[in-house]
A and B are shown apart, each in its own frame.
Chain A
Amino acid sequence: DAKTTQPNSMESNEEEPVHLPCNHSTISGTDYIHWYRQLPSQGPEYVIHGLTSNVNNRMASLAIAEDRKSSTLILHRATLRDAAVYYCIPIPGGGADGLTFGKGTHLIIQP
């Protein structure tokens, strides 16, 4: 499995954009990049995923570097509800197998 590196924590202000980085330099060509987040006292929830192109959905945007060794999750206007631990997870071949979670980034949102 590809190894990931994420900052332990990040802090942002409410209603400002947040860019959460992830390094996955050992990713293989067919690994999809998935992002999940875990709100306090809840189970993880899916945020977004992509392979090569940048992706947008109602929750966030995912920017993938051209060499695919890193990606950035973008929350366009953070709210207090976005305070969570964010996990970047490369998944071999897109796959429908179990997820390997790292330590993730603890995002703190200041009002």
Chain B
Amino acid sequence: DARVTQTPRDKVTEMGQEVTMRCQPILGHNTVFWYRQTMMQGLELLAYFRNRAPLDDSGMPKDRFSAEMPDATLATLKIQPSEPRDSAVYFCASGLGNRDYNEQFFGPGTRLTVL
């Protein structure tokens, strides 16, 4: 049963520290999305890639967030420096990037707490 995996599942860190979250998309999926969920804002799209190229990162705070896909099996989301307002659950999702088959498969999320 193919699934999106995310590591770590939980991360507690102190303000100012660097945080790296990792995502392994489903094999064969060419589109990877990063979302963030908070109680106040709900689920928000941060960025997404297609065939490893960034297509849209307009939802991401540019000064401290960066997203990359070093290869087709790994996507990373980095926050440097982290702030308490970054505390949220970060979800990665992958899909086929095809308008007829565009179901997105979500990972279990990384719960980030910045103290």
Contacts and interface: CB of A to CB of B under 8 A. Distances in A.
B91 to A, nearest CB: 5
Contacts of B42: 101-103
A43 B100 contact: no
Interface in A76-111: 87, 91, 93-103
B2 to A, nearest CB: 14
A81 B102 CA distance: 25
A106 to B, nearest CB: 12
Interface stretch (B12-20, B63-71, B74-82, B103-111): B103-111
A95 B98 CA distance: 7
Given A43-B108, A45-B106, A91-B102, A99 B91 contact: no
B33 A96 contact: no
Nearest to B108: A43
Contacts of B98: 96
Chain A interface residue number, banded: 20 to 34
B96 interface: yes
B112 interface: no
Contacts of A42: 106, 108-109
25 contacts: A38-B43, A43-B91, A43-B93, A44-B43, A44-B91, A44-B93, A44-B106, A45-B105, A46-B103, A46-B104, A46-B105, A94-B99, A94-B100, A94-B102, A95-B102, A96-B50, A96-B95, A96-B97, A97-B56, A98-B56, A99-B33, A99-B35, A99-B43, A100-B45, A101-B44
Interface of B: 4, 31, 33, 35, 42-45, 48, 50, 55-56, 59, 91, 93, 95-100, 102-109
Interface of A: 36, 38, 42-46, 49, 87, 91, 93-103
